[in-house]
A and B are shown apart, each in its own frame.
Chain A
Amino acid sequence: DTEVTQTPKHLVMGMTNKKSLKCEQHMGHRAMYWYKQKAKKPPELMFVYSYEKLSINESVPSRFSPECPNSSLLNLHLHALQPEDSALYLCASSQDPGRGVYPQHFGDGTRLSIL
């Protein structure tokens, strides 16, 4: 069972559209992550929220806008994306990494295709 829920599972959008990806967890985790993953490649970190505050932005283009409305929810707002942004977008959560060897728990991902 997936403890981190991502919606939608698939998304096709045009370059002028605005859409959002959603991620939800109810494990009480205080760190949440967005990754971008291309086929047969490792996940690339995009953003990290810690205690609902943005703690890491890996120089991601502004057409990707993260939001953490509360400790259980993480959104990724998309606007004016490019074809090269087509990828699998993974959300993950973890306990505070500073407190132990807590692994990340991943969702199933959203497969995004930009036309």
Chain B
Amino acid sequence: AQTVTQSQPEMSVQEAETVTLSCTYDTSESDYYLFWYKQPPSRQMILVIRQEAYKQQNATENRFSVNFQKAAKSFSLKISDSQLGDAAMYFCAYRPRGSGTYKYIFGTGTRLKVLA
């Protein structure tokens, strides 16, 4: 069975500093997609960044970047220049590639606090 593990239930970072959230996953598939979602107290889940497993280059979206290590099945999220608005629950998610693969597997989440 495919699983996603986020080993850090809570993290804190000082405003303007950098923080890394960890995510590991277990799968026997060779082709899949990985996502990081952010859920602020306002409740809406918002896509932060996505990665295709067959692409070796790490995805980057402005202050957000990932360190994708396929062999280690690791997909960490780095947030640079942290801002107060980054405070939220962050969920790592996995989905196999292929038609009919609608099920996303979510990790348990990491609550990020940003300190002023």
Contacts and interface: CB of A to CB of B under 8 A. Distances in A.
Q: Do A and B come from one complex?
A: yes
Given A40-B111, A42-B109, A55-B102, A97 B95 contact: yes
B103 A40 contact: no
Interface string A99-112: 10101111111010
A33 to B, nearest CB: 7
Contacts of A2: 44
A7 to B, nearest CB: 14
B44 to A, nearest CB: 5
Interface in A69-115: 88, 90, 92, 96-99, 101, 103-109, 111
A104 B104 contact: yes
A92 B45 contact: yes
Interface of B: 33, 35, 37, 42-47, 50, 52, 89, 91, 95, 97-104, 106-109, 111
> 5 smallest A-B Cβ distances: which pairs?
A98-B99, A42-B106, A106-B45, A103-B47, A48-B102
11 contacts: A33-B102, A41-B109, A43-B45, A43-B91, A48-B103, A92-B45, A97-B101, A103-B35, A104-B47, A105-B47, A108-B43
